[in-house]
Amino acid sequence: MSKINVMNDELINKIAAGEVVERICNVVKELVENSIDAGSKNIKIELIESGSKSIKIVDDGIGMSKEDSVLCFSRHATSKIKNESDLYFINTLGFRGEALAAIAAVSNTYLDTFDGKESTMINIKAGKIISNKTGSKRKGTIIEVKELFYNTPARLKFMKSPQTELSNTVSIIEKIALSHPNISFTIINDNKQIFKTTGSNDLYKTIFEIFGANTAKNMIKISCENYDYIINGFISNINLSKSNRNNMITLVNGRVVTNKDVNRCIKDAYHRVLADNKYPIVVINIETDPTLIDVNIHPTKQDIKFSKIESLTDLLFNTIRNELNNSDNGFKPYKESFNNYDYKNSYNNYIENEEDEINPYLFKEEKHVEEIRLDLSEKEINYEEEDVKRENKFIKPVGLALGTFLIAEDEDTMYMFDIHAADERHNYEYIVDQIESKKVYTTNMLFPITLEYSTNEFMRIKEHIDEIKDLGINVEEFDKNTFKIYSHPSWIKEGFEYDSIKKIFDLVCEHKGKFDKAKFVDNVCASVACKMSVKANTHISYEEQVRIIDNLFKCKFPYTCPHGRPTHMKYPLIELEKMFKRVNFSKEMGYDDER
């Protein structure tokens, strides 16, 4: 007797539903994508009890004929592809013809559609047509899904709380709205509107409508292309970060997708400007030839493969890095501080003038003031007893607070510096500059340093001893499991030789997996910079305070330390007056100036 049974259509549809339709948000996604493919400009999602009782999608698309409105519920029935070659030229969100059949198999579904000629209303329950009659003749399509998973109790049992299901639905629609800013989306739950975009076809405005004004004003526009890809979108500056990657939104040809290589590339681009456990907000749309991607690798069509991933990641990484470096990252550019600087030999000294990409819906149009970036090389500062001879006399130290924070001021702004973070950023960029110059200058030590390790650690270090020597460290094996260091690179400051060199060796010991020399060198720069920087709760002189401020603003990226912590905060006078109610008080009392 045969043990193999051929499953009936009802069982097949229920299994398919488990793959395509796992939760309420999956149902909403599939139905909304159909509305988008139908050319809709306004899509409304109406939910009852977060969709557990009813999910209704109302659109103004092209609608369907009477014949198509019946066929659309058949498995593998679609208008998107006609033959095998179409799989390589997919320009629509849907193409498999599985979603409607899967949804109808586990619910009580109603369809009301009108294509301008025929109006049809269908009721289908558990995959079987209950009624088929003339519809309301309203332009577009209305599809309502009731009693979801009523005939699959196991699936129903694993539904989350109404609030969680609603949150997941809103999250998906937010991403879809960002991928199609030309479409207006509305979500209504229990007769209460909770989400809406205007369909302005302005991605920046859509970001504002979804994330709010504070997020929008801290976004940086990016645009680039190569032979394979065109990239447009917005990335957050260093003032915005999240504890997870949920807001790293990538779109490919208008489709919301996820790709580990792309996510890793974006995160790497923020390396050393955001903390390792923080993630940026990005909305990046990637346009490419459909033949270079494969979206047919997951039932939800959210995962994707790229045939030329290196071409994409190189373009994306370099673009994000350049835009972060060239942006003021939400800080006022330091024109006032460096207006009189003149370093004749500075190879990195330039002035940028450009208009802000500020959305007219949010802010008045304004221009960036001049921004000057300076080289990383050390400049000798001569000191006098009462004053410091320095070209930059605009930002003046006031004193230390709590042993860690340096207070300073210019004509109209108060600054607060984290002395360790600020010094660490300068030291990091100085070391990077020295290593990238390819000129290794070494310093001989009067008393060599001896480092002893376990056998396992010794073998691991010995395996990568050439990478250590390339840094300018003269090291030899000495006795059992021991190394002796005779000289070190000149960028290691006097007094920090032992701690810095030991940290470099420890980084080799701690390394896991395939050894990446570039990452190793970067970790060396950050770790040694930290070791050599002034520590918190350390009393520093006025001269040292001046040095920290001046050196920080010579940096290419003075906003964070290499680990992503802010180096300083700025408090403009007008903001301080608002905080202390001086501005409003003056107006109320009829004074021109309360100062």
pLDDT tens by residue, 504-560: 998 888 777 678 888 888 889 999 999 999 988 888 889 999 999 999 988 888 888
- For position 367, what pLDDT does the model report? 32
- Taking all residues of the chain, what is their mean pLDDT, rounded to a whole number? 79
Give the Cβ contact number of residue 563 at 10 Å: 17
Give the Cβ contact number of residue 339 at 10 Å: 12
CA 211 – CA 215 distance, rounded (Å): 6
Which of residues 42 and 83 earns the better pLDDT score? 42
Which of residues 42 and 135 earns the better pLDDT score? 42
Report CA 234 to chain centroid distance, whole Å.
Answer: 9
Please determine whether the domains at 204-326 and 439-532 fall in the same fold group of CATH.
no
Report CA 222 to chain centroid distance, whole Å.
Answer: 13
CA distances from 135 to 79, 142, 525 (A): 22, 10, 69
Q: 564 is written with which tokens?
A: 């992503």
192 pLDDT higher than 60: yes
Per-domain residue ranges of the chain:
9-197, 204-326, 439-532
Give the Cβ contact number of residue 361 at 10 Å: 14
- For position 461, what pLDDT does the model report? 87
Q: How far separated are the first and last CA of the chain, in Å rounded?
A: 98
CA distances from 114 to 25, 38, 62, 106 (A): 26, 12, 8, 25
**CATH pick for 204-326 out of 3.90.550.10, 3.40.640.10, 3.30.230.10, 3.40.50.300:** 3.30.230.10
**In contact, 583 and 577? CB cutoff 8 Å:** yes
Q: What angle do CA 120, 123, 128 make, to 5 degrees?
A: 120
**In contact, 45 and 173? CB cutoff 8 Å:** yes
What CATH class has 439-532?
Answer: alpha beta
- Tell me which of 417-431, 441-455, 572-586 is least confident: 572-586
Highest mean pLDDT among 11-15, 235-239, 298-302, 422-426: 422-426
Under CATH, domain 9-197 is a member of which superfamily? Histidine kinase-like ATPase, C-terminal domain (3.30.565.10)
**In contact, 209 and 222? CB cutoff 8 Å:** no
315 pLDDT higher than 90: yes
313, burial (CB in 10 Å: exposed 0-12, middle 13-18, buried 19+): buried
- For position 370, what pLDDT does the model report? 32
CA distances from 214 to 290, 330, 332, 362 (A): 36, 11, 16, 10
Those residues whose C-beta lies under 8 Å from the C-beta of residue 132, and which sit 6 or more positions away, are 70, 120, 121, 122, 123
Q: Give the mean pLDDT of 79-100.
A: 54
- For position 11, what pLDDT does the model report? 55
Confidence band, pLDDT 50/70/90 cuts, at residue 341: very low
CA 279 – CA 204 distance, rounded (Å): 20
Q: What angle do CA 76, 81, 87 make, to 5 degrees?
A: 100
Up-side HSE of residue 454: CA atoms within 13 Å toward CB? 4
DSSP secondary structure of 370-424: PEEE---S----EE-SSSEE-S--SSEEEEEETTTEEEEE-SSEEEEEEHHHHHH
- Nearest Cα to Cα of residue 407 among 581, 570, 576: 570
Q: Side chain identity at 56, as an amino acid letter?
A: K
491-514: burial string, b at 16+ Cβ within 10 Å, e else? bbeeebbbebbebbbebbeebeee
Q: Give the mean pLDDT of 87-107.
A: 66
Q: 112 is written with which tokens?
A: 């009301």
593, burial (CB in 10 Å: exposed 0-12, middle 13-18, buried 19+): exposed
DSSP secondary structure of 491-506: TSPTT-HHHHHHHHHH
CA 141 – CA 31 distance, rounded (Å): 11
